[in-house]
Every structure is written in C-alpha cells, then in structure tokens.
Amino acid sequence: MTRTWNPGTPAPELSALATTPRLVVALDFDGTASPLVAEPMSARALAEVTAQVDRLASLPDTIVAYVSGRSLHDLRVIAEHTDGSSVALAGSHGAQYWYPGIGELDEAGESEATGTREELWEAARPIIGRFAGAELEEKAYGMGVHTRNATPEVEREVFAAIDALVAERFPGWRRRAGNRILEFSSRNEGKDAAMTALRERFDATGILFAGDDVTDEDAMRVLGQGDLGVRVGPGDTAAALRVDTPQQIAELLEALADERAAARQ
C-alpha cells in the first residue's frame, strides 16, 4: 500500500534505506527532479534537488543516477551534466548509460522493429505538423510525440493518427504512453532494465527510485526488499511512498542525506 509522505515527518522506510551498505538513489528527471515544462529541452532540475543530489553523491558508498526516457544526449543537456560529473545516467528507458569515470556505454539490446528511426521520423513529421501544439522529439532509438502545448482533443487525434501510422508501416516498435507524450522505440528495454543495470554496476544493497509517470512503474515493480519506490504526484503506483511535487522530492532527499550522513559518522 502506498503511503503519503509529508516533509518533516518520520519515514521508517527512508531510515532503513539510509543505513544500507551500498545505496543507489535513482531519479526520473521530468516531473521528478524538474517540474514539467512546455518546452521539453528547457527542463532543468530544481536548485534544491541539485543541491541534495550533489550532497548524496559526495557521501561514501552512495551513487546518484538520473533515469529517463530521454536520449542520453538530451538528458546530459537538461541535467547540465559534465564529463567530470559523479552522477550516473540511464537514458532511453535503460538502453543507454553513462558512468562516472567510464563515460558512455550502450548496453546490447535486441530490436524487432520494422524500418529505421529516420524513416519513422520522416513519416510522422507531416502528420504531427497538422496538429497545433504537437511536437516531434527525435530520440536515439525512436521518437516521442509531445502534446504539452496541445488541447486534450488534439492530443487524442494526433496520438490516434500516429498509432495508425506505426501499426501500418512500423510494426514491432515498443509503444509507451506517458504524461502528454506518446513514444515509440526500436528497443525493448524499460526502466526495470535500468534498475537491474545500476544494481549490478554499483553492487547496490538498496535502491531508492522516484518517478512521476506510467513508464516509471516499470522500475517500481522490480524494486525488492531493501529498496524504496517514491511516486511523485497522483496515479496508480507500486511505490511505497508518495509525495506531491518535485519540491518535496528535494525535501525527501535532504532527509535521506541527513540520516545517511549521520549513520556514516
């Protein structure tokens, strides 16, 4: 059962996680570290989230990662991520990775998709262009159709048109529907794959994963004993805790950092 966490109140689940020997703190970006914005590439993490990410990453045996559906290139831009960063990245829903001290790695994956991403973009672009407020996002393994600036009616129409296009000409592409976005990928990985990769890479004994959207539930469902899922905002979830906003994510990370720093002294 999911419990709402209010800043300043005790959270036994958080306290238990703070003492795990090897901790990975994994955060979705849009809607979790950053508020949702009309222009996707203008998203930036809240300053208070960044402060706690940096603080946690400086603690012993503690790794922080952003886990996003964005392509790795775009994720690095919006996360203001540099080559010297101590923050790991998982992009394209767990198909791309960047690790501190190593750099970019593409995990091997299989595709059953028909056609190339460029062919998909070319076919989708004139359809999307007919709908006011709809935008195409070119991704490393496919595309996203954003409708944050469109009406609900336009969203329904453009999503239906793109679904029809893909069904007819591009079978085998993985479909994901999120908050004001419809995505198609030639790769089958989800954020559950990212949890497995991060756990294995960093020998994690505990993972905190926070996310706000349907695609984040792939990660929530594979968390196990000693892990903690946090849902940001409304919606059905497998997470143990819920907060209302990215601002409260910053407060939750601060509480975790306080307890983990105290436990490591």
Residue-wise pLDDT for 103-151, tens only, equals 998 666 667 789 999 999 999 999 999 999 999 999 999 999 999 999 9
Residues 90 and 166 occupy one common structural domain = no
**Per-residue pLDDT tens for 5-61?**
999 998 999 999 999 999 999 999 999 999 999 899 999 999 999 999 999 999 999
Note the Cα 19 to chain centre separation in Å: 25
Selection from 265, 84, 216 nearest residue 208 by Cα? 216
> Do 143 and 258 lie in a common domain?
no
Q: Which residues, 6 or more positions from 250, have their beta carbon under 8 angstroms from its beta carbon?
A: 46, 48, 49, 51, 52
* pLDDT in the model for residue 150: 96
Q: How confident is the model at residue 105, as a pLDDT?
A: 84
- End residue of a domain, out of 125, 155, 185: 185
Mean pLDDT of 151-169: 97
Q: How many residues comprise the chain?
A: 265
Answer yes or no: do 175 and 203 share one domain: no
The DSSP string of 22-57 is SEEEEE-TBTTTB---SSGGG----HHHHHHHHHHH
Report how many helices (DSSP H) and strands (DSSP E) the chain contains, helices first. 8, 13
Region 217-224 average pLDDT: 97
37 phi and psi angles, rounded to 5 deg: -130, 160
Distance between CA atoms of 143 and 107, rounded to whole angstroms?
19
Task: Note whether 249 and 230 are within 8 A (CB).
Answer: yes
Question: Per mean pLDDT, which range of 69-78, 110-119, 121-130, 256-265 is the poorest?
Answer: 110-119
pLDDT at 110: 65
8 A C-beta contact, residue 149 and residue 140: no
CB environment 54-92: b (16+ within 10 A), e (fewer): ebbbebeebbbbbbbbbbbebbbebbebeeebebbbbbb
Q: What percentage of the chain exceeds 70 in pLDDT?
A: 98
pLDDT of residue 263: 86
Q: Verify that 181 and 203 share a domain, yes or no.
A: no
What average pLDDT does the structure give for the chain?
Answer: 95
CB 186 within 8 A of CB 141: yes
Whether 160 and 209 map to the same domain: the answer is no
179 and 148 co-located in one domain? yes
Same domain for 7 and 73, yes or no, is: yes
- How far apart CA 45 and CA 30 sit, in angstroms, is 8
Q: What is the domain count for the chain? A: 2
End position of a domain, from candidates 185, 212, 228: 185
Min mean pLDDT across 57-71, 102-116, 190-204 is at 102-116
Q: Could you say which of 185, 202, 222 is where a domain stops?
A: 185
CB 223 within 8 A of CB 35: no
**Domain match, 123 and 91 both:** no
Residue 101, phi then psi, degrees to nearest 5: 80, -5
**Do 42 and 85 lie in a common domain?**
yes
Instruction: Give yes or no: residues 137 and 87 share one domain.
Output: no
* Host domain of residue 154: 117-185
Residues 163 and 175 in one domain: yes
Same domain for 177 and 203, yes or no, is no
CATH number at residue 148: 3.30.70.1020
